[in-house]
Amino acid sequence: MKIAIVGTGGIAQYHARAIPKVGARLQAICDVSPEALQRLGEQFNVEGRYRSLEEMLEREELDIAIICTWGVDHAEISNRLARSGRVRAILCEKPICANAQECAGMIEVARENEVLLAEAFKFRHHPQHLKARELVDAGRIGPLHFIRSTFAVYSDPRFHTPAHNWRFDPARGGGAFFDLGCYNIHHARFMAGMEPVRVWAAGQRGALSGVEESAAVHLEFPGGLQAQCSLSFCCASSEWAEIHGEEGIIRLERRPNPNVLLTPNPFSFEAREVERRVLPMQGFDAVYTRTGGGGAGLQDRAEDTVGVILLQLADWKTRPRASALMQEMRRRTADLAGVLIEVRQEEAGPPVGKPVQLQLSAVDPALLPAAVAAVRRKFEQMPGLVDIEDSRPLPGIEWQVAVDRGQAAKFGADVTLVGTAVRLITNGMKFAEYRPDDSDKEIDIAVRYPAEYRALEQIGRLKVQTRMGLVPIDNFVTRAPKPKVGTLNRSDGRRVLLVKANVRPGVQPDAMVREIRAWLPEAGLDPLVRVVFKGQDKEQAAAQAFLSKAFGLALFLIAIILVAEFNSFFSTLLVLTAVLLSTVGVLIGMLATGQAFGIVMTGIAVISLAGVVVKNNIVLIDTYDDLRQRIADPREAILRTGAQRLRPVFLTAATVVIGLTPLSFGTNIELLTREIVVGAPASQWWVQLATAMVYGMCFATPLTLVVTPSALMLKARLAARLRRDDRARL
């Protein structure tokens, strides 16, 4: 098949690269610029280079001519090609022409000369759009009521001039309507399956260009179906569409082309757009952006992650609080359509990922998708959860190459030989390593075919060297599209999927977990699906179990020591009761300050508080026992005990309270530099512990000075009454 390209701009290069992939030959190119002709001809090894259309049509007999010039010239070139009798089909880049009158003339000329005329809207053949149309035709979302789409490509307003880009030149068919809006309008007509009866639009013309740079289009179809299209050169880049029916919504977003085995990263523009919005913010020492799903960065990432931006904060004294920066980043990126953005703080300690996580597992993997969908719907209905994701495989296809081993053996080939050949059109075949002089790491040296020979269709043309010579692998290889399989995770031999979410500021993960636990029994999940909570709940449960054991063991050891010291179970029980009652003060402090009961930091505070309370009670009880041996009246002994031990108990309490009160307010006193620092990141770690200690000590000290002497007096009176009763019986 012989193909010619008229025009040598950027879109012409895309066509030139695609032509060999379909088994055709780029026979000729035509352009008024000799430099452009030479450049494109040498790049793609094209011998037929013509500066006029007449010369090309006189010398070449073509199957297809592709028009890649400015839109205002499409009608004239198309008509000349059709009338020449030297072209069988014409593929015209969008927009097909400048107005409806020209379009009608082009169609008439093509019909008269029996030439196929088509506009180059490749999205109509994309599997994503074809599947959407199939769902619409099958009635899967019910009758359509609304279609909307956005196509925005940001361009620096300083360069919106005819001299910089033809898109901003009215004389060459520039403007958002012709360059962008034609996609939106064509998509709406394609999904509706009919033509609109009313169309109206409004736009904003550029001051330098004179063409519409942003616009909104409204289309009304028969039956009341409405379509709304937004297009702009001035807004943040985004490409998406939605089809709304009575029973559902189909959303289309930009995805990589599944028919290309090896392509450049298609998502770099999203990461660049987010980076462009974040960089002007103050408070960062370094910014590192990586596109794609792999590489360094957060360990707990969704499969469809297209980029990660790591921000190293500046010194806390010179920047706003981290929470304020995160909130500002969310605000700046909230309007990016088709891109889900998560702003996450670096995790301290063992990485647990998102705080609310539900793991669903089953022996039969087919049971999991429906269960995950039900759990995700519940998550989305909870206002306290944000950044919801699940680990279901992403929609898509992958091409599987199957080798008929018996047939391959007849040609002297095997699976290894086929695999090596296929790698030449995918990621390449490694054959050596090399370490540059300026690096201590080796890099791979791989060989693969040039880019124009790395398409899916190239597999059918591969040949392998066998004892029978070069043999096409199509003789014993079949390829078929299969549903794309993501990362398979297993736990205890069962397939597992996760549903994860972050919590909004001010919302406690534990409250969300309790709500989900209460919902699960009535969720209607399959009984064969096992549900386990992960994330912070799992770590919290593990920390709680450890600290509970530690606290219980500490009380047990304290009890043994007290029994050995006092030789009295009553005194031991009295001290342990004071320890347990002191935790009431901790809870009061948490409620008064509005802080959550942190298992780790508050738990450590409770254990530390127990040591001080035990020490104060030992001082009182030991002094009382010593005085009781010399003083017969227990009341006098208790009063003297209080008089002698009031100062040590108060000093201990005052030392703890005065020392930790500044820290409980996030204040740090630097003695060496003679500074009082408020809100330092290091001090924030200890706020919860300090608050628990201060309130616990303030509550435990009156208990020690009032309840303990009262209990000792009660013991003495009960003992005296028992002695009187014994004497009376005698």
- Residue 123 structure tokens: 């999205």
Q: How far apart are CA 660 and CA 691, in angstroms?
A: 8
Domain segments of the chain as ranges: 2-120, 125-253, 397-483, 568-729
pLDDT band for 117, please (50, 70, 90 cuts).
Answer: very high
Whether 4 shows a pLDDT value over 90: the answer reads yes
Sign of the CA dihedral running 515, 516, 517, 523: positive
The strand pairing partners of 390, in sequence order, are 499
- Residue 484 structure tokens: 């794309």
Q: What is the reported pLDDT for 348?
A: 61
- 471 backbone dihedrals φ, ψ, rounded to 5°: -125, 125
Q: What is the reported pLDDT for 437?
A: 79
Domains 397-483 and 568-729 share a fold: no
Q: What is the pLDDT of residues 124-153, one digit of tens each?
A: 888 888 889 999 999 989 999 999 999 988
**Residue, of 445 and 725, whose pLDDT is higher:** 445
Where do runs of H (alpha helix) occur along 508-633?
Answer: 509-519, 536-566, 569-593, 599-628
The strand pairing partners of 400, in sequence order, are 480
Least confident of 380-389, 434-443, 509-518: 434-443
Q: What is the reported pLDDT for 299?
A: 53
CATH class of 125-253: alpha beta
- Residue 479 structure tokens: 């390829």
pLDDT band for 253, please (50, 70, 90 cuts).
Answer: confident
Fold of 397-483: 3.30.2090
Q: Which amino acid is at 573?
A: L
Beta strands in 51-106 (DSSP E): 62-67, 87-92
The single residue listed with the structure tokens 């009431």 is 584
Whether 698 shows a pLDDT value over 50: the answer reads yes
Q: How far apart are CA 265 and CA 267, in angstroms?
A: 6
Q: What is the reported pLDDT for 300?
A: 64
Q: Are 614 and 581 in contact (CB under 8 A)?
A: no
Has domain 568-729 been given CATH number 3.20.20.70? no
CATH class of 2-120: alpha beta
Q: How far apart are CA 126 and CA 123, in angstroms?
A: 5
Q: What is the reported pLDDT for 399?
A: 79
Within 8 A by CB and 6+ apart from 43, the residues are 13, 16
pLDDT band for 230, please (50, 70, 90 cuts).
Answer: very high
Whether 462 shows a pLDDT value over 60: the answer reads yes
Q: Which span out of 26-40, 610-624, 635-649 was modeled with the highest average pLDDT?
A: 26-40
Whether 442 shows a pLDDT value over 80: the answer reads yes
Least confident of 140-154, 272-286, 317-331, 345-359: 345-359
Whether 227 shows a pLDDT value over 70: the answer reads yes
**Angle, nearest 10°, between helix axes 322-333 and 268-278?**
130
Within 8 A by CB and 6+ apart from 191, the residues are 132, 133, 136, 144, 147, 241, 243
Q: What is the pLDDT of residues 474-518, one digit of tens each?
A: 888 888 877 777 777 888 778 889 999 888 888 888 889 899 999
Q: How far apart are CA 485 and CA 529, in angstroms?
A: 21
The strand pairing partners of 533, in sequence order, are 358
Indicate the Cα dihedral angle 612, 615, 616, 617, nearest 10°. 120
pLDDT band for 730, please (50, 70, 90 cuts).
Answer: low
Sign of the CA dihedral running 428, 431, 437, 441: positive
Whether 554 shows a pLDDT value over 70: the answer reads yes
- Residue 68 structure tokens: 């890649």
- Residue 529 structure tokens: 């699906």
For residue 533, give the 3-state DSSP assignment: strand
Element (H, E) at 670: strand 667-670
Q: What is the reported pLDDT for 6?
A: 94
Indicate the Cα dihedral angle 518, 351, 667, 508, nearest 10°. -10
